[in-house]
Structure 1
Amino acid sequence: MEWTELRPSVRRLDYHYMAMQAGFWAMFAAIVAYQTALLLERGFSNSEAGLMTAVRCLAGIVFQPLLGGFADRHPRLPLKHIVTISMALSLVAGVWYWLSPGMGLWETTLVWVVIGGLEVSSYPLMDAMAVQFINEGVPIRYSLGRGIGSLAYAVVCVVLGFQAGRLGLESTLVTHLVLVILEILLVATYPAYRGKVRQTGEEGPRPQSALSLLRSNPRFTLMLAGVFLGLTGIMPLSNFLVNIVTSRGGSEADLGIALFLMGASELPTAFFFQKLLRRLGSGRLLLLSMIFGTLKGVLLLLTFNCLGVLVVQPIQVLGYGLFTPASVYFVNESVPEADRVRGQTVMMVASNGLGGMMGGVLAGWTLDLGGANLMLVACIASGCLGALLCLASLGLGGGKKNRAVQAERT
């Protein structure tokens, strides 16, 4: 039977994937957006809160390549099964975290290892679930799905801001558990990819190790280095937004509004991303996202009240809002077909993994040393270095080729 006869309807693949994106980012908001605020509420210091952010990201660094490599070595195993099992295990850790508000540093560390390693790290495989169909010519609107995910993140953030103000920050963990269960159901019911897979022993390119992939593709590797430094400076602007808001006189409700504006500002990217991609190419869009993400830090440094923090948030549309879809397309265009799942995980490791980890350490240390303004200065410096490395990567060539490939697909 031909692949076209087995393939589910385009409408179902498209809308179901958008629902998965919305579910993931709603779940992400419920546990990660309020991670620092909840840890501070439980009596941890800024440095310890930064350490927990680093632990979550470090877990992703370890687990993402393992999950991606396992998926590459077992192409007949649907990705949705790997994601479903990962999130189910994370759900157990989330229940323990909720039922034990007095847990100490080591127990909290273990919880964030599981959540960061199995729940948050499942996102690259969810991306790959769509990319598999996109590579077969299925017109899944990935950028729109990512934009809807940003809107879901924004809505959940503002709702949880008011919920935390009325019921306390601990109540956000209940919302998180409900959303994890919902996302598990969405992933488990997504149609499995049934395209042609290479048989064992069949000739054809085999997946490389992560190290081999980096050695064979210097342009890709240099871009990863730029993304790492860029995200080191950009991630604290959201993970430690609570410190910026309170330093400007804001409250928990103001934090919810700021998070809403930040997430909602990513939605418009979905409507013009394809035009920008055809005109500039994925590499230049990654550079643009690093520049505007760093500019956000500059503008936040110049604010002197909570209203200013709120006004700055829409710059996210060309910052992190542009980064996620651009990074997915950049990997898909820059690495061999057999390595695309691993490539997505390596990109996530360099950005939200290593970048998030170092950003957490940097933010926690600078906050205790000199407050929010010192943290912003350090973030700006790291972001500028990252943007310069991304620019150097573009100088190695490949941009025209990538745009040509994308033009053929669209």
Structure 2
Amino acid sequence: MRRIKSVQVRHQYTLLQCFYWVSSCAIMGFATVFLQYRGLSNTLVGMSIGGAAFISIWMQPFLAGVVEKVRGLSLKKMILLIILAVTAGYLFLGLVPLPKMAIVGVYLVLNTLYNSITPLITAMGMEYMNQGYEVNFCISRGLGSVSYAVSAVVLGQLVEHFFPGILTFAFAGMEILLFTVVVSMQEPESSVVKEEQEPSSSVIEILKGNRPLLLFVAGFGICYMTSSILGTYMINIVRELGGTDGTFGIAAFFCAASEMPAMFLCNYLIRKVSCKKLLKLSSVFFVLRPLVIFLAPNLAVAFLGFALQSLSFGIFTPVSVFFINQELKEKDRVVGQTIFGMVTVGVGSCVGNLAGGFLMDRIGLKTTLGLCVILAAVGFLITQRVRVEETGPRRRILQIESSRAEKKE
């Protein structure tokens, strides 16, 4: 019976990742296309997306703290509440004519809330794993990237053949499926029984007590500034090199699909190489990716740069999750996952989008891409200051596997 339930949880969590990233593609992957369609300039697009990332800096740890402390409120319930709120808000944004600054404000709120789901889904996966369920986070997250990739192509074709407003309805449809999957999932035990948990540490306490985490947070926060500029304004890069909205969908497919091999191999890699080494390796490709795109004379070379997301973001995303699970005490893991998301997706995306939109409107695309290369190099140098122990995460992984075996018996 335990085996059947474990398999069920694994499949449900995979569907959760898939539907989340498909809907994420509609509301965030095509954000620039949608907002430009509504009449916003690059600067206002940057304000919308960057402002949402800025608020997420406080929203994500706030929500994580609420889930940890409020009795009766679980990760699952918080995710369901956010899904309902964002779906209603995005339909409103797509169907009701609004002034430009109102569009900025509404989208800012919606993007903030939807960004906040990512660390909650990650924390839910880690809780399932720590309780012995056969959840393979790397494969589930990898299939999420595949789903994002396929939806990028489909949405790109829909936008090109119809109009960008269709993204609103595509998002609502995916959210219905996502809501259904989340409702069917059982609660991870540790997200329900709060009265027996030791209080979690504060963000400052966690960062002060873990120098590698602090350095990785700072370094990848800077790297993510460049990554967010490349992602948000990819449509500008594609158009500059002669592409269309349909080509943009294919470019987004390349980026997301390229993550799949690294994510699928994640469990194998972290048994052979420490999480710290893998994170330091991924920072190298956070520099090479903008460099290739900056030097690209045509779309073919630019697509090669987009595909380097496999070895940058593709390694960073799953390995950072295991790094947090390895480095922090159980009581601090939800907040720890949130810290990583808060600084990379939060601070990094905020500064990247705000600065990227402003710079593109004033100094042009090419110069902005050159600055991206310099910023990524700074982030790389910070991550290289982390000392790597040879023991790696193997002990922690074996503890999880041992726990699973005991529970099966």
User: Which among 59, 62, 67 is matched to residue 66 of structure 1?
Assistant: 62
1:185 CA displacement: 1.6
Q: Please tell me the residue identity of whatever aligns with 1:249.
A: G
Q: Please tell me the residue identity of whatever aligns with 1:324.
A: T
Q: Please tell me the residue identity of whatever aligns with 2:314.
A: G
> Does the CA contact (< 8 Å) of 1:62 and 1:117 recur in 2?
no
- Equivalent residue, structure 2, for 1:128: 123
- Equivalent residue, structure 2, for 1:151: 146
Q: Please tell me the residue identity of whatever aligns with 1:46.
A: N
1:26 CA displacement: 0.1
Q: Does 1:344 align with 2:340?
A: no
> Does the CA contact (< 8 Å) of 2:262 and 2:310 recur in 1?
yes
For 1:57 and 1:218, locate their aligned partners in 2 and report how far apart those are by CA, in whole Å: 24
- Equivalent residue, structure 1, for 2:393: 402
- Equivalent residue, structure 1, for 2:266: 273
For 2:191 and 2:390, locate their aligned partners in 1 and report how far apart those are by CA, in whole Å: 29
Structure 1: which 5+ residue stretches go unaligned? none
- Equivalent residue, structure 1, for 2:99: 104
> Does the CA contact (< 8 Å) of 2:258 and 2:309 recur in 1?
yes
User: Where does 1:82-101 land on structure 2 (aligned, <5 Å)?
Assistant: 82-100=78-96
Q: Does 1:30 align with 2:23?
A: no
Q: Deviations over 1:320-356 (max 9, x none)?
A: 1111101111111111110111111111011111111
User: Which among 371, 388, 392 is matched to residue 364 of structure 2?
Assistant: 371
Q: Does 1:306 align with 2:302?
A: no
Q: Secondary structure at the match of 1:95?
A: helix
User: Where does 1:312-327 land on structure 2 (aligned, <5 Å)?
Assistant: 312-327=305-320
1:23 CA displacement: 0.3
Identity of aligned residues (%): 27
Q: TM-score, normalised by structure 1?
A: 0.92
- Farther off after superposition, 184-193 or 144-153: 184-193
Q: Deviations over 1:212-232 (max 9, x none)?
A: 222222221121111101111
- Equivalent residue, structure 1, for 2:16: 20
How has the CA–CA distance of structure 1 residues 164 and 67 changed in structure 2, closer, same or farther, with 3 Å as cutoff?
same
1:398 CA displacement: 5.1
Q: Does 1:49 align with 2:39?
A: no
> Does the CA contact (< 8 Å) of 2:83 and 2:179 recur in 1?
yes
1:264 CA displacement: 0.9
User: Which among 188, 200, 203 is matched to residue 207 of structure 1?
Assistant: 200
For 2:70 and 2:42, locate their aligned partners in 1 and report how far apart those are by CA, in whole Å: 42
Q: Please tell me the residue identity of whatever aligns with 1:67.
A: L
For 1:206 and 1:380, locate their aligned partners in 2 and report how far apart those are by CA, in whole Å: 41
Q: Secondary structure at the match of 2:260?
A: coil
Q: Secondary structure at the match of 2:222?
A: helix
Q: Secondary structure at the match of 2:259?
A: coil
Aligned residues: 401
1:408 CA displacement: 3.9
1:195 CA displacement: 5.3
For 2:119 and 2:191, locate their aligned partners in 1 and report how far apart those are by CA, in whole Å: 21
Q: Please tell me the residue identity of whatever aligns with 2:77.
A: H
Q: Please tell me the residue identity of whatever aligns with 1:37.
A: V
Q: Secondary structure at the match of 1:130?
A: helix
- Equivalent residue, structure 2, for 1:113: 108
1:308 CA displacement: 2.4
1:78 CA displacement: 2.7
Q: Does 1:229 align with 2:229?
A: no
Q: Does 1:383 align with 2:376?
A: yes
- Equivalent residue, structure 1, for 2:407: none
Q: Please tell me the residue identity of whatever aligns with 1:90.
A: V
User: Which among 280, 285, 288 is matched to residue 281 of structure 2?
Assistant: 288
Q: Deviations over 1:174-207 (max 9, x none)?
A: 101111222122112111123597664x6x7421
> Does the CA contact (< 8 Å) of 2:14 and 2:144 recur in 1?
yes
Please provide the CA RMSD for this pair. Answer: 2.0
Q: TM-score, normalised by structure 2?
A: 0.93
For 2:106 and 2:191, locate their aligned partners in 1 and report how far apart those are by CA, in whole Å: 38
How has the CA–CA distance of structure 1 residues 104 and 403 changed in structure 2, closer, same or farther, with 3 Å as cutoff?
farther
Q: Deviations over 1:93-142 (max 9, x none)?
A: 11111112x42233223322322222221111111111111112222111
Q: Please tell me the residue identity of whatever aligns with 2:39.
A: G
Q: Please tell me the residue identity of whatever aligns with 2:137.
A: Y
Structure 2: which 5+ residue stretches go unaligned? 402-409
For 2:282 and 2:379, locate their aligned partners in 1 and report how far apart those are by CA, in whole Å: 11
> Does the CA contact (< 8 Å) of 1:283 and 1:399 recur in 2?
no
User: Where does 1:153-232 land on structure 2 (aligned, <5 Å)?
Assistant: 153-194=148-189, 200=195, 205-232=198-225
Q: Please tell me the residue identity of whatever aligns with 1:131.
A: M
Q: Secondary structure at the match of 1:152?
A: helix
For 1:218 and 1:312, locate their aligned partners in 2 and report how far apart those are by CA, in whole Å: 32
Q: Which runs of 4+ in 1 moved over 4 A?
A: 195-199
For 1:384 and 1:108, locate their aligned partners in 2 and report how far apart those are by CA, in whole Å: 35
- Farther off after superposition, 309-318 or 337-346: 309-318
Q: Does 1:252 align with 2:248?
A: no
For 2:194 and 2:92, locate their aligned partners in 1 and report how far apart those are by CA, in whole Å: 42
Q: Secondary structure at the match of 2:116?
A: helix
For 2:71 and 2:311, locate their aligned partners in 1 and report how far apart those are by CA, in whole Å: 35
For 1:47 and 1:356, locate their aligned partners in 2 and report how far apart those are by CA, in whole Å: 14
For 1:152 and 1:291, locate their aligned partners in 2 and report how far apart those are by CA, in whole Å: 26
